Amino acid sequence: MDKLYIKKDIRSLSLSELSKQLVDLGEQAFRAKQVYEWLWVKSCTSFDSMSNLSKSLRDKLAEHYKIHGVQVHKSQFSADKTIKSTFKLHDHHLIEGVLIPAPDRMTACVSSQVGCSLTCKFCATGYMDRKRNLNADEIYDQVVLIAQQAEQNYKQPLTNIVYMGMGEPLLNYANVLRSIDRITAPDGLNMASKRITVSTAGIAKMIKKLGDDEVRFNLALSLHAANDAKRNEIMPINEQNSLMALAEALKYYYAKTKNSVTYEYIVFNDFNDELTDAAELAAFCKHVPCKVNIIEYNPISFADFKNADGDKIDAFANFLKKKGIITNVRRSRGKDIDAACGQLAVKEKAS
């Protein structure tokens, strides 16, 4: 096909770009706002469904543009009501996302990449290859589909979004930020930025960029060790992004945004579960205002790590609390369907 006639992904266009292109096609500029509302407020993935547009305009849109809608490939329901879904992309890649219901919230855990390149030793996704980044609309679609699951299964609206699924969000920076723009914008899903958390394994220069961009969403750092030797062992990314480099980046980020940071810390049995480890974490917590989420480890077949004993986890958490650090112990959800933290890994191929 001649390159001039290759259809464009309409959701890759800004409102001003779409407006200009519609004018070039002989349409009035205000039509772009109508189309944009269908795409981003009503989450429409079919031109035929845009009912307040003329048939001729819908035909023209279908002739020149495409919509790469994401589809639910398969869903699994946990005993604790967590729902894990495998989503099929337009090029047949598969990704996973999770709905995590709680009495006071409905949280969507979404992916930012197909696979991951960081090879964290305790994470199932880290044992996959990274195939590609997700586009902003593919991240947005995950949120829409998971929100529909919350309404359909639990009669509750989605309240929170965490970028903690497959992939490293800060290695897909532009698409992640654009997805958040579409999710939070009044001409998008209009969700509050403070309801969104982006989790990173720790890329110092991109944390600084978040500061430069003065983002309003929450930042979480998957820390898991406040000791470079131990962190290098389980998270190879630390070899180029040492704790000192991360501390400097977080200080810069906080100075620019005044947003506190959440540290995620999995307590592994006989690895990072002693009070000396807690003391190192407490020292790291002095760099910027923060809180700590202690996360239960969810075993995977690729690795030999085990969750620390309950008494060890309680002692670890109490040590931090006595130091005046806000500390929460997060119990795993969806373990029976491999939907818990660190367990996402597509085990099939799309047909």
Whether 175 has a pLDDT exceeding 50, the answer reads yes
CA 282 to chain CA centroid, nearest Å: 26
The pLDDT tens digits of the residues spanning 10-48 come to 999 999 999 999 999 999 999 999 999 999 999 999 999
- Cross-strand partners of 99: 83, 108
> Tell me, what's the pLDDT at 347?
54
Whether 332 has a pLDDT exceeding 70, the answer reads no
Distance CA 161, CA 159 (A): 7
Q: Which of 74, 76, 73, 44 is nearest to 61 (CA)?
A: 44
> Tell me, what's the pLDDT at 338?
57
The CA distances from residue 69 to 10, 77, 198, in Å, are 11, 23, 23
The fold of the 3-66 domain, in CATH, is DNA polymerase; domain 1 (1.10.150)
For residue 282, give the H/E element and its range: helix 275-284
Task: Please report which confidence band the pLDDT of residue 196 belongs to, taking 50, 70 and 90 as the band edges.
Answer: very high
Other CB atoms within a 10 A radius of the CB of residue 139 amount to 30
> If you average pLDDT over residues 68-86, what whole number do you get?
93
Whether 277 has a pLDDT exceeding 90, the answer reads yes
**Which regions of the chain carry the CATH code 3.20.20.70?**
71-337
Q: Which of 322, 276, 270, 321 is nearest to 294 (CA)?
A: 321
Q: Are 19 and 32 in contact (CB under 8 A)?
A: yes
Pick the CATH number of 71-337 from 3.80.10.10, 3.40.50.740, 3.40.50.261, 3.20.20.70: 3.20.20.70
CA 304 to chain CA centroid, nearest Å: 26
Give the sign of the dihedral formed by CA 259, CA 119, CA 331, CA 266.
Answer: negative
Instruction: Return the active site residues.
Output: 96, 341
Of 146-150, 214-218, 340-344, the least confident: 340-344
> Tell me, what's the pLDDT at 300?
72
The CA distances from residue 308 to 120, 184, 268, 282, 299, in Å, are 18, 38, 5, 19, 11
Distance CA 86, CA 71 (A): 9
Q: CB under 8 Å, gap of 24 or more: what pairs does 324-331 form? A: 325/282, 325/285, 325/290, 325/291, 325/292, 326/290, 326/291, 326/292, 327/291, 327/292, 327/293, 327/294, 328/291, 328/292, 328/293, 328/294, 329/293, 329/294, 329/296, 330/293, 330/294, 330/295, 330/296, 331/296
> Tell me, what's the pLDDT at 342?
46
User: 255-270 burial, b if ≥16 CB within 10 A, otherwise e?
Assistant: eebebebbbbbbbbee
Helix, strand, or coil (residue 267): coil
The pLDDT tens digits of the residues spanning 91-134 come to 999 999 999 999 999 999 999 999 888 878 788 776 777 889 99
Q: Chain-wide mean pLDDT for the chain?
A: 91
**Which regions of the chain carry the CATH code 1.10.150.530?**
3-66
CA 16 to chain CA centroid, nearest Å: 27
> Tell me, what's the pLDDT at 21?
95
> Tell me, what's the pLDDT at 348?
56
Q: At what angle do helices 31-40 and 15-24 cross, to 10 degrees?
A: 130
Length of the chain: 351
> Tell me, what's the pLDDT at 116?
87
| Pair of tokens at residue 132 | 């590609």
Query: pTM above the 0.85 mark?
Result: yes
> Which residues make Cβ contacts (< 8 Å) with residue 209, sequence separation at least 6?
173
> Tell me, what's the pLDDT at 1?
42
Q: At what angle do helices 204-212 and 243-257 cross, to 10 degrees?
A: 10
